A and B are shown apart, each in its own frame.
Chain A
Amino acid sequence: MSDQPNTPTSNPSRPPPWNNPAVRSIVYQVIAVVLLGYFAWTILNNTLDNMARRGIRTGFSFLNNESGFGILLSLIEYDESSTYGRTFLVGLLNTLLVSVLGIFFATIFGFLLGIARLSTNWLIAQLASIYVEMIRNIPLLLQIFFWYTAVLQALPGPRDSIQLGDSYFLNNRGFYFPKPIFEDGFGAVLFALLAAIAAAIFIGRWARRRQDRTGARFPVFLTSLGLIVGLPLVVFLLVGAPLSFETAVLERFSFTGGSRVIPELMALLWALTMYTAAFIAEIVRAGIESVSHGQIEAARSLGLRNGPTLRLIVIPQALRVIIPPLTSQYLNLTKNSSLATAIGYPDLVAVFMGTSLNQTGQAVEIVAMTMAVYLTISLSISFLMNWYNRKVALVER
């Protein structure tokens, strides 16, 4: 280095690559990745090798074989002659069903509870606190067993069902309600509904622009509600009410016909919702309390009433704090749904990692597939929530 001519414009002393922190960091990372890859490859190879030596069948061809067993609840067509691949789909959809419904109800219930805990009404605030402290300190599995065994299984049998009106029945086989049968012309009603939703979105945008320009407000919520309920209703009556209901009928063993929610789903959904809602309530409370009191005082001094203060000032700022931990709760709920197997709800773990694994004996493949599914679902939820988080995050200028 010393024998190189030093001109003022060139780098005075360029360190050798092994002393360059940037290069070194890349080299270390490459080495780490290679080692990790080698580790994974060795485990895979070792497993396959050992399984082959012990005469255990491997590969994914079993997915095309006939499963030969029935499943209690299936959102898609499924019977005993379907393949294991289909079994996988049925289990996956059942898992998604309970997760999506659970997330939906837990969010609504959790927000209400969180706001209730902050209520100035002493009784409401205390009740909400007691609920949160009780529910989140009891293990979820116990709660699932409680709802399934102590509540739903204690209901009367089909013959002595609890009857609500003429066509709603509740017994230990589930909750039966009339099944809507859509006749010709119902498509027009759906079309009207879509049109009404589109119109509502348009009105919302127009109202905002008008408010920006003139300051005059427009009752967007009531107009939209009227449109979305009213327009399809008018069309429905115009095309001659193309809808009828099929009621469940008691037969030799049980009810047939109609629609039914099985008790396994009810118990699982109920327990997941109540449990997760308790955590969401705390997150919401923390979020709202994180908004400084000065903001509310400022809103008051502008003359905003309670409702608009909460809606326009507090919640948008609280959401920044709420969204990240809320995402973890959604992930927890989805993963907790695998406790379904304890009460016989046919989710992915029960039908695929349970029955299918046992019938085919291909533990490694099936466990890997199941883990991949949960990973994918969790990553998707994370991705969606992160995207939403970026939208509500404080934009720094």
Chain B
Amino acid sequence: MISARARASSDTLALIKSKGFLSCGVNTGLPGFSAPDTNNNWTGMDVDFCRALAAAVLGDTTRVKYKPLTAKERFTALQSGEIDILSRNTTWTQIRDTSLGLNFAGVNYYDGQGFMVKKSLRVKSAKELDGAVFCMQAGTTTELNLADYARLNKFTYKSITFETNEQVREGFETGRCDVLTTDQSGLYSHITKLSDPDSAMVLPEMMSKEPLGPVVRQGDDAWFNVVRWTLHALINAEELGVTSENIEQMKSSSNPAISRLLGTTGDMGAKLGLDNSWAFHAIKQVGNYGEIFERNVGRLSPLKIRRGLNALWNRGGIMFAPPIR
């Protein structure tokens, strides 16, 4: 009991350094965010964030132990110290931030809840869904959003909640429900997994704000800072044009912001309790935010999600990271 207490409290950073790996809570299977690939390696945006974090702290992206969690298990796993970070498409809400003893370190994907229907139903808008049956995952903000949306638009609905994403998709495919609802990014990921991806479509309506981001335990500011600034470093790298490919050349860049980011000047890493080349390792081994996005969910992936809100602030989106200085 005592060792569990010591583990769960205060110095997560020192603990990760001493055990030599990072415990990262991820989704059990959401292509594009976290899912095992054909070689059984975890891939996806949320996985890449943990890899970047491992590179920043330990210098090596492979030193991560992934812990697949259902929506129901995720917060308890973090509270109890079973994982060091929860990187599992988790929506930042006030209750979660204030009453669970957790802190959200930032947003790595701006999402919103949407609906997916079978094309054969010939539904064109979410306004026509009165009386429909909805499949969704248990223990998510999805259930609450749908209830709010139904009350606001005065329609009746029935919801069936399943434990895992796979069961939700199966329920939709076999026709147990008419509509599958989750975050829009999740819908695109579900579509790629349907036996006939052309049979379903995503409705245009977005009915909620779902800022997804990494979560850590409350009361460990040093670790919180490491997580938050690793995320900011990835976003700043995209803004400064530093990619995994050109990073070696960029080391000799005359731009002082790039020099500070890559640790050739200043002591930004030391201030976080890390090596000065923390961001260098993360970007070199995983890529900047834009690369991570395009590789996992964007142009270079089967999901083909457009940047939209997740584009940088100076390119029409709202991805904005405070400066590294």
Which residues of A come within 8 Å of B, CB atoms? 50-51, 53-57, 68-72, 80-81, 149, 153-154, 157, 172-173, 251-254, 256, 263-264, 341-344, 346, 350, 354-355, 357-361, 363
Chain B positions within 8 Å of A72 at CB level? 158-161
The 10 closest A-B pairs by CB, nearest first: A358-B139, A80-B147, A56-B101, A54-B101, A57-B99, A69-B143, A153-B174, A361-B100, A55-B101, A157-B175
Is the CB–CB distance between B75 and A361 below 8 Å?
Answer: yes
Q: How far is the CB of B142 from chain A (nearest CB, A)?
A: 9
Within 8 A of A (CB), among B1-31: 5, 9
Chain B positions within 8 Å of A68 at CB level? 144, 147-148
Is the CB–CB distance between A253 and B132 below 8 Å?
Answer: yes
In the assembled complex, 17 residue pairs joining A and B whose CB atoms fall closer than 8 Å, in A order, are A54-B79, A54-B219, A69-B159, A70-B157, A71-B159, A80-B147, A80-B150, A173-B133, A251-B131, A254-B178, A344-B160, A346-B161, A350-B161, A355-B139, A358-B139, A361-B95, A363-B75
Query: In the bound complex, how far is the Cα of B100 from the Cα of A251, in angstroms?
Result: 43
Is the CB–CB distance between A361 and B138 below 8 Å?
Answer: no
Is the CB–CB distance between B101 and A69 below 8 Å?
Answer: no
With known contacts A173-B176, A358-B72, A361-B96, A70–B159 Cβ distance under 8 A: yes
Query: In the bound complex, how far is the Cα of B101 from the Cα of A68, in angstroms?
Result: 22
| Closest partner residue, chain A, to B168 (CB atom) | A344
Which residues of B come within 8 Å of A, CB atoms? 5, 9, 71-72, 75-76, 79, 95-96, 99-101, 121, 128, 131-133, 138-140, 143-144, 146-148, 150-151, 157-163, 167, 170-171, 174-176, 178, 217-219
Is the CB–CB distance between B101 and A51 below 8 Å?
Answer: yes
Is the CB–CB distance between B79 and A56 below 8 Å?
Answer: yes
Is the CB–CB distance between A355 and B138 below 8 Å?
Answer: yes
Instruction: Select one of B76, B96, B146 contacting A363, CB under 8 A.
Output: B76
Q: How far is the CB of B286 from chain A (nearest CB, A)?
A: 30
Q: How far is the CB of B150 from chain A (nearest CB, A)?
A: 7
Is the CB–CB distance between A253 and B178 below 8 Å?
Answer: yes
Q: How far is the CB of A155 from chain B (nearest CB, A)?
A: 9
Chain B positions within 8 Å of A54 at CB level? 9, 79, 101, 217-219
Chain A positions within 8 Å of B72 at CB level? 354, 357-358
With known contacts A70-B146, A172-B176, A342–B163 Cβ distance under 8 A: yes
Interface SS majority for chain B: mixed
Is the CB–CB distance between B162 and A344 below 8 Å?
Answer: yes
Most B C-beta atoms less than 10 A away, residue of A157, A264, A342, A358: A358
Is the CB–CB distance between B76 and A354 below 8 Å?
Answer: no
Instruction: Select one of A253, A341, A363 contacting B131, CB under 8 A.
Output: A253
Instruction: Select one of B71, B147, B170, B217 contacting A70, CB under 8 A.
Output: B147
Most A C-beta atoms less than 10 A away, residue of B5, B140, B160, B167: B160
Q: How far is the CB of A232 from chain B (nearest CB, A)?
A: 35
Q: A54-B217, A54-B219, A359-B143 are in contact. List 14 more A-B contacts (CB 8 A).
A: A50-B5, A51-B101, A55-B99, A55-B101, A69-B146, A80-B151, A157-B175, A252-B131, A253-B121, A253-B132, A344-B161, A344-B171, A360-B99, A361-B99
Query: In the bound complex, how far is the Cα of B157 from the Cα of A159, in angstroms?
Result: 18
Query: In the bound complex, how far is the Cα of B144 from the Cα of A336, in angstroms?
Result: 29
Most B C-beta atoms less than 10 A away, residue of A69, A149, A341: A69
Is the CB–CB distance between A153 and B139 below 8 Å?
Answer: no
Is the CB–CB distance between B131 and A256 below 8 Å?
Answer: yes
Is the CB–CB distance between B143 and A70 below 8 Å?
Answer: yes
Query: In the bound complex, how far is the Cα of B106 from the Cα of A169, in angstroms?
Result: 51
Query: In the bound complex, how far is the Cα of B76 from the Cα of A34, in angstroms?
Result: 32
Instruction: Select one of B159, B167, B175, B218 contacting A172, CB under 8 A.
Output: B175
Q: How far is the CB of B3 from chain A (nearest CB, A)?
A: 14
Query: In the bound complex, how far is the Cα of B167 from the Cα of A57, in angstroms?
Result: 32
Query: In the bound complex, how far is the Cα of B171 from the Cα of A149, in angstroms?
Result: 9
Query: In the bound complex, how far is the Cα of B175 from the Cα of A154, in angstroms?
Result: 9
Chain B positions within 8 Å of A50 at CB level? 5
| Closest partner residue, chain B, to A156 (CB atom) | B175
Chain B positions within 8 Å of A253 at CB level? 121, 131-133, 178
Q: How far is the CB of B189 from chain A (nearest CB, A)?
A: 21
With known contacts A149-B170, A153-B174, A253-B178, A355–B151 Cβ distance under 8 A: no
Chain B positions within 8 Å of A359 at CB level? 95, 139, 143-144
Chain A positions within 8 Å of B71 at CB level? 358
| Closest partner residue, chain B, to A252 (CB atom) | B131
Q: How far is the CB of A265 from chain B (nearest CB, A)?
A: 12
Q: How far is the CB of B227 from chain A (nearest CB, A)?
A: 17
Is the CB–CB distance between B138 and A350 below 8 Å?
Answer: yes
Is the CB–CB distance between B133 and A354 below 8 Å?
Answer: no
Query: In the bound complex, how far is the Cα of B143 from the Cα of A274, in angstroms?
Result: 33
Q: How far is the CB of A245 from chain B (nearest CB, A)?
A: 22
Query: In the bound complex, how far is the Cα of B95 from the Cα of A55, in angstroms?
Result: 12
Is the CB–CB distance between B96 and A355 below 8 Å?
Answer: no
Query: In the bound complex, how far is the Cα of B174 from the Cα of A173, in angstroms?
Result: 10
| Closest partner residue, chain A, to B130 (CB atom) | A252
With known contacts A69-B144, A357-B72, A56–B138 Cβ distance under 8 A: no
Query: In the bound complex, how far is the Cα of B72 from the Cα of A51, in angstroms?
Result: 19
Query: In the bound complex, how far is the Cα of B157 from the Cα of A153, in angstroms?
Result: 20
Query: In the bound complex, how far is the Cα of B121 from the Cα of A157, in angstroms?
Result: 12
Chain A positions within 8 Å of B161 at CB level? 72, 344, 346, 350, 354-355
Most B C-beta atoms less than 10 A away, residue of A56, A153, A256, A361: A361
Query: In the bound complex, how far is the Cα of B219 from the Cα of A261, in angstroms?
Result: 49
Q: How far is the CB of B216 from chain A (nearest CB, A)?
A: 12
Query: In the bound complex, how far is the Cα of B151 from the Cα of A68, in angstroms?
Result: 10
Is the CB–CB distance between B178 and A354 below 8 Å?
Answer: no
